[in-house]
Amino acid sequence: MDDREQLKMAAKAAGIHWNRWDYERLRDLGHMVTPSMMWNPLNNDGDALRLAVNLRIDIDYDELEPRVEAYHKVLGEDSHFCADECMEPDPAAATRRAIVRAAAELGKAMP
């Protein structure tokens, strides 16, 4: 799944309407787009943290390897949606990506 598809699925899981993140489409329609209109948890720490909080995604850092894991446990079930990323060379980017990937898996499972 490419970045755009991951963002679509993460937005679906979070209940975010397409125009909050598809700023390229808005620009194509002739709209002026400002940074406050953009939603991109792959690039923005605040968006990623809000996504993790809203979806109750847990974040765990491996102490033996430079890895970060983001996961969402499905209540009442043994299954969970999980993603892990290597933290090198950019730990913040890896954490954001793991959050988005876990959210995207959650969004894919939604009807």
The pLDDT value given to residue 65 = 87
CB atoms within 10 A of CB 100: 29
pTM: 0.82
Query: For all residues of the chain together, what is the average pLDDT?
Result: 84
The pLDDT value given to residue 39 = 82
> What percentage of the chain exceeds 70 in pLDDT?
79
The model's pLDDT over 8-56, given as tens digits with 9 standing for 90+, comes to 899 999 988 765 556 677 667 776 666 666 788 998 999 999 999 999 9
The pLDDT value given to residue 111 = 84
Shortest CA distance to 44 belongs to which of 6, 2, 95, 85? 95
Question: For the residues 66-74, what does the mean pLDDT come to?
Answer: 86
* pLDDT higher at 76 or 12: 12
Check: CB of residue 51 under 8 Å from CB of residue 57.
yes
End-to-end CA distance of the chain: 18
> Residue 83 and residue 17: Cα distance in Å, rounded?
24
Shortest CA distance to 107 belongs to which of 41, 46, 43? 41
